[in-house]
Structure 1
Amino acid sequence: MIDLGNPQIIDSEIEDFFSKGGTLSTKIPGFEERFGQIEMAKVVANNFNNGGISLIEAGTGIGKSYAYLYPAILKALNKELDENYTPTIIATSSITLQNQLYDKDIPNLLRYLDLEPGSIKYSLLLGRNNYLCYKRFKEYAENNALLIDLIKGFNNWIKTTTTGLKMEIQDTILNSDWNLVCSDSDYCVGFKRCRYSGLCYYFKAYKRAQEADVVITNQHVLALDSKIRAEKDEGYEVPCLLPPFNTLVIDEAHNFKEISRKILSEEFDCAGLKDALNLLFRKDKKLLATTLELILQQFKKGIELSAEVFNKDRKQILAKTAAVETEISELKGKKLLDNEFNFNPATVDKYSALFEKIKILLPLCEAHYKAVMDLQNRYAKLEVEENNYLSNLKFVCSKLDCSICAMKSILNLATSDNRIYYLENDVIKIAPMNLGSFLSSNFFNLINSIVCCSATLTTNKNFDFFINTYNIRALCYTTNIFTSPFRYDEHMKILIPEDAIAYNVERDEEFQKYVTQQVRKAIIASSGGALVLFTSYSMMNKVYSTLRNENFKIFCQSKSSSKQELLNKFKENINSSLFGVASFWEGIDIPGNSLRLVIIVKLPFISPSDPIYNGMKLLCSPQNAWGLFNSYSIPSTIISTKQGIGRLIRNNEDRGIVVFLDNRL
């Protein structure tokens, strides 16, 4: 029974809901009590009551989403009694889980509790580039009038969509097209100035989140929200990308490390900088003037700047940027700079010529940024008809600002001991090596209640890898492991062929031939129903190329097919097989006979050429390199392997086999 007179969640409320004979058992046909689910819900409730950090590994089948959603609902029902009440934020790494929570789990729980619609407000808030920007779409349609079918499809979708989310049409649009019409903070002129503000899907989602009791979001938004708060020196008691909050659940928490690293990274992109600088000098074919000239024409007086002065500065910056590009190209030619060769303080002298060129470019960019920002601020005060000019100025300022920050970081290389510098597609990337110091002080130490859960949060039955990664050992935390109720010993077999080969680079071709033969045999033996997990696109494509004309159906991950589209085809064709890398190792749910065999081609060790891992090795002493392998690479591999195995058994009826083709297991 729910106690509406007590802001504290008590154990009896959890038991009355989840236990045999309780609320759920009267609502769900065939209900089975799960001890792990009850205990996890109690841990979450205690966390919400008393604060702290709760680390939870909940095996597949525990029902962990209900175990944290129910306490969140109880917390919301008693919000009038809590003077410090804030919403519960739930952040996941996969869209699949976000949709499940928002579209299925929360509505079901509210129905089971016989709660009136609206008694608990809940919302879905994703990163803004997941939402259509109607203003950018109108511009896209005007500039691409020949793409009749695509524009028509967009217009038909806009008539029916209430969310404007890409996921609704992701099977019908290329990423390159979506990037031109999605919401983007660098182009946004602001809700008050935009003529299409009433059709701003992102603002509507943001506003709903500010008023919600439970907010479902992704880990990218959570990490970016934390970064912005830290930059502004603000706590979590004020709104940012997310509303004010002091209660947080991070599901699929094993992914938060790399997502946070990506958000906290910087980059210096010469090509992107040049494109931004040229944006204001593109000529309008109808008005026969550049964007900058048209902007300056809006000022009747009080503007002493001229297009000629701007253009002179731009050309100077372009020339110095080209010099930096040339130096990067020469370093690549000398094998001194690529994704395997990081900048590091010990070898800083090798890059002195590059640093000198950046030192020349930096003040030019700073001066130009100041001039463009001044123009942007002046233009924003004008009472003119809304157009693209302000969004163009914002984009240029944003790109200049990011470039300036990255150049300063590069020039601070010699004194940096916590950053990894590397090249990726001719872009200099700067990533934090140790995430713990930032996240511990700006995240875990500032939020009252944090629950981190996943089916794979431990290695060797302990949480040391997670604790050390986030530097939370000195903070108040608890750990709990709730094992899966599934009988893996009876329902799943793990096989390693006697002739399995230990992979190494020198035997790559031999290993590929072996994998092709074994995958073919296994698919034939199981009559399909196989999920084949690779660690590289290269090997996957080679094996697929050899087997694609065999007498069995294979679906293969590619850039032209969405993940969900492939999964749907695989489920519908019960004797088909599916080849995938990376994202297919986790976050996919294929219960039933469609999936009865998982083949793990190679153990998912971090590649020796991975820039982050390689950078860590370069920055540690030779005697500590083996320790890094044991403390970082091995735990990461264990977690990824557990995720891959976890694709097979998704309910009590599932049966199947996992085959490892790598004998290093």
Structure 2
Amino acid sequence: MTGAPSDLPSVRELLSHAVDAVGGTEREGQVRMADAVDNAIRTGEHLAVQAGTGTGKSLAYLVPAIRHAVESDTTVVVSTATIALQRQLVDRDLPRLARSLKKPLGVEPTFAILKGRRNYLCLHRVHTGVEDEPEDTALFDQFAISRIGREVKRLHEWSSDTETGDRDELVPGVSDQAWRQVSVTAKECLGAGRCPVGDDCFAELARAEAGRANIVVTNHALLAIDALQDYQVLPDHDVTIIDEAHELVDRVTSAATADLSPAMVTAATRRCARLIDADIVDRLLETGEGLALMLEDALPGRLDVLPDALGGAVASVRDAAHACLTALGSERREDPEEAAKRKLARSALDDVHDTAVRLLDAFDDDPADRKDVVWVTGDRQGGSPRPPALHVAPLGVGGLLRERVFGTSTTVLTSATLALGGSFDTLARQWGLPPQPQRTEKAAGSPGTPGSAGSPGSTGTATEKPPPSDSDNGPRWSGIDVGSPFDYRRNGILYVAKHLPPPGRDGLGTATLDEIAELIDAAGGRTLGLFSSMRAAKQATEELRDRIGHPLLCQGDDSTSLLVNKFAEDARTCLFGTLSLWQGVDVPGASLSLVIVDRLPFPRPDDPVASARQRAVEARGGNGFLTVAATHAALLLAQGVGRLHRSTDDRGVVAVLDPRLATARYGGFLRASLPPLWPTHRPDVVRDALRRLDAAAPA
């Protein structure tokens, strides 16, 4: 990627200009990161950057990315895991940066946001296309039908006003059922050339704008779809920047997961009912009913062996779907409405057929060589039972990422949490990169020491691509930890309640609940409780709400965003919740001085994907628990601990009520993954510190 010297200002000059323009201050970690990203772009060597909260990492990667895009007249793709970061980049960071860099670059950089086609209104479906079939659950629910009808009417009216057709711009939003009436997936789309309103297609306009932009912001799911599919989704680009990279593997795994249920078969049947011979359609309908009967007898959980009866039902679905596809024939010259119906039918049949094939193929290989894991879900109990279904997911995505992401563009991966156990190797293996990078740099005061806690191994591949081996040189990459502007040891305490009993399966014990109450009392409220399950969060809420003397909110009482706002506005308020709060709370200041973690966040023992990945590592002689379960816990724990420090002035305590963090052999690996808070096991020291913080906090 090296070339002739450029007339443009250097990255450091542009960064300094940008920081001045937004009224910020230059930070050492930000400068180091910008230099590292610039070097990666120039040399083509992939880069992993751990940048703690407060580093200003968005600016650190956007400035060199923009410079490269302008200089080379090309596009750089920035992928995020969350909508919140997408919105921050597109609504705040990029507009300010584009304005500030216009003069030194001699041109104003351009940017665009690109989402999957399903996120955009389809004008053909709005005006002339086919309606979606109602779901079985809504057939006899007149209230649901009237609600959906009102929402669809509103969408039709909105279609005349919107300039983007982007679902996220519709406020208030509508249900998924209503949105499906006016949108299509990429497989359902007629194509701009055949569609009578193709020239005005919102999705095509968004893609065209993205193709002209210097920076395109997208999400990990669309990045995965671009890698998985045979057709190109993202514009041509030579550099990819993956922010929130700690979530990349999970998001790509989710995008590569497929489902098969009797409801899917029924929906496909309805789609093709008027297009092909009734006898062929009836055969598909019957196989769906047969699948439902077999699933009724199947216990929820991972399938290591496919029962003959269930396998026969899946094979019947496969063959019947193939017969329908054959009868449907190839695309014909017909009016757009008929073409749309045929396209929707083909898409639904393809999904059923291809998933059935994949499910059956998953059991062809020797268990040690399998690429996919299969499991059954279904909750037949409770107030809202879920009908049973089959699912298939990749054991790993390293092979896919290695070939289709790292193999096609220079890639920068960044997050506040990448060096697990002090080493980048843990996540690098999951991404498909070889171990032992050529160069790993570490900032002073950063958590852990590279390689100090061992390096968990690979977890397999998502495709036919083999996993990287220790002897494989593979793509060149380096890792750098630029640290954080936060003085963690002076401003934060990591308290591990070593005296408590290990957590059990029967909910929170009396000693743990007493500990929570005493800590909250010392902190004067100001507490975020992060629980490993919704059951534990609700138990703690019910048992402590009348006991602690401070307002106590629990996730599920209202929308999460409203609860977080209430929590931030009243310093005495406490908020308890589960998974989304571990990564989704950004509350600086005195409203949050205590983070409580009830237990180490290992995946559930019956989690089908995690347990299958763990077993696959062990089959190759690796440490499955450390590679899969401990890595999952380290990522989530580091994210949870990161809720405490959101600004340089934040001070407080992270209280982990699971003694295993101090006593278990893997505790060192987990602690080396966390910011370097001052550690203690003494409850009296912690309570005194919390009382001092409460007394010093603004009224």
Task: Using structure 1 for the length normalisation, give the TM-score.
Answer: 0.81
**Uncovered stretches (5+) of structure 2, i.e. residues with no partner:** 135-144, 379-387, 435-472, 662-699
Comparing 571-580 with 51-60, which one deviates more in the overlay?
571-580
Distance 1:414 1:26, change over 3 A: closer
Alignment match of 1:124 (pick from 110, 113, 122) = 113
Alignment match of 1:365 (pick from 313, 321, 338) = 321
Query: What does 1:215-230 align with in structure 2 at a 5 Å threshold?
Result: 215-229=216-230
Residue matched to 2:682: none
**2:240 touches 2:411 (CA, 8 Å); kept in 1?**
yes
Distance 1:156 1:647, change over 3 A: farther
**2:99 touches 2:108 (CA, 8 Å); kept in 1?**
no
The one-letter code matched in structure 1 to 2:555 is: Q
Aligned residues: percent identity?
26
**1:87 touches 1:212 (CA, 8 Å); kept in 2?**
yes
Distance 1:256 1:25, change over 3 A: closer
- CA offsets, 1:205-237, max 9 Å, x none? 2221111111000000001101114xx6xxxxx
Distance 1:177 1:578, change over 3 A: farther
- CA offsets, 1:412-432, max 9 Å, x none? 355752221211232222222
How far does residue 87 in structure 1 lie from its aligned partner after superposition? Answer: 0.7
How far does residue 518 in structure 1 lie from its aligned partner after superposition? Answer: 3.8
Q: Distance in 2 between matches of 1:504 and 1:53?
A: 43
Residue matched to 2:400: 438
Alignment match of 1:612 (pick from 585, 609, 614) = 609
Q: Does 1:265 align with 2:257?
A: yes
Residue matched to 2:238: 246
Residue matched to 1:451: 412
Query: What does 1:27-106 align with in structure 2 at a 5 Å threshold?
Result: 27-29=21-23, 31-79=24-72, 86-106=74-94
- CA offsets, 1:158-183, max 9 Å, x none? 56644333334476534454444444
Distance 1:137 1:117, change over 3 A: farther
**1:7 touches 1:75 (CA, 8 Å); kept in 2?**
no
SS in 2 for 1:598: strand
**1:219 touches 1:256 (CA, 8 Å); kept in 2?**
yes
The one-letter code matched in structure 2 to 1:184 is: T
SS in 2 for 1:444: coil
Comparing 37-46 with 421-430, which one deviates more in the overlay?
421-430
SS in 1 for 2:405: helix
Alignment match of 1:324 (pick from 291, 296, 306) = 291
Residue matched to 1:467: 428
Q: Distance in 1 between matches of 2:151 and 2:258?
A: 34
Residue matched to 1:109: 97
Comparing 141-150 with 411-420, which one deviates more in the overlay?
141-150
How far does residue 608 in structure 1 lie from its aligned partner after superposition? Answer: 0.9
Comparing 149-158 with 524-533, which one deviates more in the overlay?
149-158
How far does residue 248 in structure 1 lie from its aligned partner after superposition? Answer: 0.6
Q: Distance in 1 between matches of 2:80 and 2:44?
A: 20
Comparing 420-429 with 392-401, which one deviates more in the overlay?
392-401
Q: Distance in 2 between matches of 1:142 and 1:413?
A: 38
How far does residue 462 in structure 1 lie from its aligned partner after superposition? Answer: 1.1
Q: Distance in 1 between matches of 2:108 and 2:4?
A: 16
Distance 1:199 1:456, change over 3 A: same
Q: Distance in 1 between matches of 2:261 and 2:241?
A: 35
Alignment match of 1:428 (pick from 390, 412, 415) = 390
Distance 1:612 1:173, change over 3 A: same
Distance 1:364 1:401, change over 3 A: closer
**1:459 touches 1:638 (CA, 8 Å); kept in 2?**
yes
The one-letter code matched in structure 2 to 1:457 is: L
- CA offsets, 1:271-312, max 9 Å, x none? 21122112344xxxxxxxxxx1xx6xxxxxxxxxxx5xx221
Q: Distance in 2 between matches of 1:147 and 1:266?
A: 27
Distance 1:95 1:373, change over 3 A: farther
Distance 1:385 1:498, change over 3 A: closer
Q: Does 1:664 align with 2:660?
A: yes
- Specify which structure has the higher proportion of helix: 1
Query: What does 1:587-626 align with in structure 2 at a 5 Å threshold?
Result: 587-619=584-616, 624=621
The one-letter code matched in structure 2 to 1:629 is: F
SS in 2 for 1:78: helix
Distance 1:7 1:274, change over 3 A: farther
- CA offsets, 1:548-603, max 9 Å, x none? 56654333333x85443433333334432322322221244222233222211221
Q: CA RMSD in A?
A: 3.2
How far does residue 356 in structure 1 lie from its aligned partner after superposition? Answer: 3.3
SS in 2 for 1:451: strand
The one-letter code matched in structure 2 to 1:212 is: A
**1:223 touches 1:260 (CA, 8 Å); kept in 2?**
yes
The one-letter code matched in structure 2 to 1:112 is: S
Q: Distance in 2 between matches of 1:94 and 1:207?
A: 23
Residue matched to 1:485: 485
Q: Distance in 1 between matches of 2:198 and 2:512?
A: 54
Q: Distance in 1 between matches of 2:7 and 2:52?
A: 27
**1:270 touches 1:325 (CA, 8 Å); kept in 2?**
yes
How far does residue 646 in structure 1 lie from its aligned partner after superposition? Answer: 0.7
SS in 2 for 1:532: strand
How far does residue 24 in structure 1 lie from its aligned partner after superposition? Answer: 4.3
Residue matched to 2:522: 525
How far does residue 91 in structure 1 lie from its aligned partner after superposition? Answer: 0.4
**2:227 touches 2:400 (CA, 8 Å); kept in 1?**
no
How far does residue 633 in structure 1 lie from its aligned partner after superposition? Answer: 1.7
Q: Distance in 2 between matches of 1:192 and 1:610?
A: 45
Distance 1:657 1:124, change over 3 A: same
Alignment match of 2:267 (pick from 253, 275, 278) = 275
Q: Distance in 2 between matches of 1:33 and 1:519?
A: 40
Residue matched to 1:301: none
Residue matched to 2:205: 204
Residue matched to 2:540: 543
Distance 1:603 1:168, change over 3 A: farther
Distance 1:192 1:471, change over 3 A: closer
**2:614 touches 2:627 (CA, 8 Å); kept in 1?**
no
**Uncovered stretches (5+) of structure 1, i.e. residues with no partner:** 81-85, 233-239, 282-291, 296-306, 333-337
Comparing 453-462 with 166-175, which one deviates more in the overlay?
166-175
**1:421 touches 1:615 (CA, 8 Å); kept in 2?**
no
Q: Distance in 2 between matches of 1:324 and 1:103?
A: 47
Distance 1:469 1:5, change over 3 A: closer
Distance 1:146 1:321, change over 3 A: closer
Distance 1:246 1:27, change over 3 A: closer
Residue matched to 1:557: 555
How far does residue 658 in structure 1 lie from its aligned partner after superposition? Answer: 1.4
- CA offsets, 1:602-621, max 9 Å, x none? 21112111111222344465
Residue matched to 2:467: none
Q: Distance in 1 between matches of 2:252 and 2:607?
A: 17
Q: Distance in 2 between matches of 1:622 and 1:403?
A: 27
- CA offsets, 1:521-566, max 9 Å, x none? 44443333322212222222333344456654333333x8544343
How far does residue 409 in structure 1 lie from its aligned partner after superposition? Answer: 2.2
Comparing 600-609 with 631-640, which one deviates more in the overlay?
631-640
